[in-house]
Structure 1
Amino acid sequence: MLRISTIDGGVIDVDSSLMTIDDGVIAWWRSESEEAVARWRLDEVVGVQVLVEDPIQRARREHPNAYRRWTIEEEAAVVEAFARGEAVKEIAAATGRRVGGIRSRLIALGVIEPAPGDRVSVPSSAVPPSAPAPAVPSSAVQTSGGEAGVEADRAVV
């Protein structure tokens, strides 16, 4: 998304991924369109600003609880679902969180160990004094394709 400021004080937001300048005219395009979505003479445009969406808000459109604080009840429900053999992807969908968020919480709670390639850092405050379940070694976690350990699905019982 771009914000275009014009010499007359106008401000217009344009959904565009490409800008071209040709013969003194600036045109904004979408990659999937063959027609320009906006055009102005170069001497009419004062500035162009790239609007960057907050990554947390973007994540919450699909995962409403992404990056929110965990409650003790939510943690317990995730641990119980994982112990029942539910896929991490299913747990994520049911809780409105991202797969990485579920894996990170399971690691923080000591339920699973980080797999090679996991980028997690667990603050000591995230680990309760008594872990709810023993750790499941990474070798006991099946993955659903892709890079090993990136998306754990089920604990092997």
Structure 2
Amino acid sequence: MFGMIVTMAGSMVRLRFTDFLADPHDPDVMRRALEVEADVMTFEGETATFWLKGVEVCSYPVEVLASVEMQGKHAVADSRKYTVEDVRKQYRNAYQKWSAEDDERLLDMHDTGSSIEELAEFFGRQLSAIRSRLDKLGADVEGPGVPPASSQQPVQPPF
């Protein structure tokens, strides 16, 4: 399972654990199952990480996952499978965690007028990942010179 990416329909995913684990949103609560929204699941080493629009939702060691179930009537796994290395040929930092330094630099560059395209090239990430990270950090993604996300074409993976 090293370095594999599985794309999924953007739906709720139910994670069942082998034991009770702390809820990442409420560390005072222990859960045997958790529902998260995700569109991509990656495996690197012995860790499964769940992503939504290029932003990490959660990450768990594979050994604590009893099952991963897609929820809803439209939940169908995408048959495309590709490796992290394949995606990183085009986006060198795709599916890597953001460091505090990267977050600070991203905000600084955005605040000084760098476009989403310039940020994506600088950080080696997809346009959607830059927009999602800026949004998560509370930045005005639709700032001056940035066309609304609804008018932009989604970035398709290179496969």
Give the TM bin, normalised by the shorter chain: 0.3 to 0.5
Of structures 1 and 2, the larger Rg is shown by 1
Higher relative contact order (CA 8 A, sep 6+): 2
Of Structure 1 and Structure 2, the greater helix share is in: 1
